[in-house]
Amino acid sequence: MENETTDQTSEDISLFQRLRNSILPIKPTDGVPVKILKEGGFYLFAVMILLISLTLGGAIMFVL
């Protein structure tokens, strides 16, 4: 019964939010500047991963 509740709450959270919580979790005790830095850091990390993936994909497409 308890597992159903935790499964339902984990399904409500999007994949993007689950990744954010696993990489840079925001704690309720964090101050506003720390929360802003963690959010910004995660978005910069996500953009970096996206650009690297696109660059590698483009290089592979160029070679093929």
Q: What is the pLDDT of residues 4-53, one digit of tens each?
A: 555 556 678 888 888 888 888 888 899 999 999 999 999 999 999 999 99
Number of compact structural domains in the chain = 1
**Residue among 12, 27, 23, 14 nearest 46 (CA):** 23
List the domain range (segments joined by +) for residue 21: 2-63
Give the distance, in angstroms, between the CA of residue 41 and the centroid of all CA atoms in the same chain: 10
Radius of gyration over every alpha carbon of the chain, rounded to an integer in angstroms? 17
Which pLDDT score is estimated for 14? Answer: 86
Is the pLDDT at 1 greater than 70? The verdict is: no
